Amino acid sequence: MERTVNSFLQHLVVERGFAQNTLDAYSSDLNQFRAFVKDNLDAPAEQETWRLVDINLLNSYITDLRDNRGYRETTTARKVAAVRSFFGYLSRNGLITDDPTENLGSPRVGRSVPKFITEDEVKQLLGTAADTGTPEGRRDASILELLYATGLRVSEMVGLNVQDIDFEEGFIRTWGKGAKERIVYVYPEALSHLRAYIGGARVELLGNKRGETALYVNQRGERLTRQWVWNILKASAKKAGIDTKITPHTLRHSFATHLLQNGASLRHVQELLGHSSISTTQVYTHLTDSHVREEYERSHPRA
**11, 66, 78, 249: which one is catalytic?**
249
Q: Is 153 noted as a catalytic residue in this protein?
A: yes
Given the residues 153, 193, 253, 258, the one annotated as active site: 153
Give dist(CA 45, CA 35) in Å, integer: 15
From the candidates 84, 173, 223, 275, give the one annotated as an active-site residue: 275
User: Among residues 26, 197, 216, 284, which one is catalytic?
Assistant: 284
pTM > 0.75: no
Q: Would you identify the CATH topology of the domain 2-92?
A: DNA polymerase; domain 1 (1.10.150)
Distance CA 76, CA 74 (A): 6
197-236 pLDDT tens trace: 999 999 999 998 889 999 999 999 999 998 899 999 999 9
Which candidate in 34, 202, 252, 253 is catalytic?
A: 252
**Residue count (the chain):** 303
pLDDT tens, the chain, 303 aa long: 688 898 999 988 887 778 788 889 999 999 999 999 988 887 655 556 888 888 989 989 988 888 888 888 888 888 999 999 999 999 998 888 889 998 877 666 555 567 888 899 999 999 888 767 789 999 999 999 999 999 999 989 999 999 999 999 999 999 877 677 889 999 998 999 899 999 999 999 999 888 999 999 999 999 999 889 999 999 999 999 998 888 888 899 899 889 888 888 888 888 888 887 776 777 776 655 555 556 556 665 665
Count of other CB atoms within 10 angstroms of residue 255: 21
Known active-site residue 252: yes
In the residue annotation, 291 being an active-site residue is answered as no
Strand 165-166 and strand 181-185: the pairing is unpaired
Question: What number does CATH give the domain 119-245?
Answer: 1.10.443.10
Helix, strand, coil % over all residues of the chain, rounded to 5: 65, 5, 30
Distance CA 171, CA 197 (A): 16
CA 126 centroid distance within chain: 22
Whether 148 is a known active-site residue: answer no
Domain boundaries, the chain: 2-92, 119-245
Cβ proximity of 178 and 17 under 8 Å? yes
Residue 297, classified by CB atoms within 10 Å of its CB into exposed (0-12), middle (13-18) or buried (19+), is exposed
Equal CATH topology for 2-92 and 119-245: no
Catalytic residue among 78, 177, 223, 226: 177
